[in-house]
């Protein structure tokens, strides 16, 4: 589970993530569970006019925290289109670390593909 200050941002798709959010924008990076290659979400602004007019810092922080969680969930969902899920070990990996069989067999990360290939040869 990731944290940014006092705000819990939820469970990340990948094992490693980074939060680059600031007072005005939400922005996250997700990293391949095998090689560490990163993908960064687009900036999502926190500029709702109603929110910008709030003078009370505590209330603004609560609203920012809520919107921060929503932005993380959105980026987390978008990350699913940039990483592949290994049906064997469950890791989320980049295209370079993924072996798509092209058949009805399971799609695997390169490590699991090599491991299963070694089993078939013995």
**What global pTM score does this model have?**
0.80
Token pair in block for residue 35? 């090689």
The pLDDT of residue 59: 79
The pLDDT of residue 20: 96
**Each residue of 54-95: pLDDT tens digit?**
667 777 788 889 999 999 999 999 999 999 999 999 999 999
Cα–Cα nearest to 79, from 21, 35, 27, 120: 27
Report d(CA 8, CA 68) in Å as an integer: 9
Annotated domain spans of the chain: 2-121
**Each residue of 103-116: pLDDT tens digit?**
556 789 999 988 88
């Amino acid at each position: 589970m990731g944290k940014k200050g006092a705000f819990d941002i939820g469970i990340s798709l990948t094992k490693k993530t980074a939060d680059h959010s600031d007072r005005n924008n939400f922005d996250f990076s997700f990293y391949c569970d095998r090689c560490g290659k990163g993908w960064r979400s687009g900036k999502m602004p926190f500029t709702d006019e109603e929110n910008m007019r709030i003078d009370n810092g505590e209330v603004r922080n609560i609203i920012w925290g809520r919107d921060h969680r929503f932005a993380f969930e959105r980026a987390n969902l978008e990350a699913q289109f940039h990483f592949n899920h290994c049906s064997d070990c469950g890791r989320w990996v980049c295209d370079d670390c993924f072996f798509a069989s092209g058949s009805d067999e399971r799609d695997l990360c390169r490590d699991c593909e090599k491991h299963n290939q070694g089993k078939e040869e013995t």
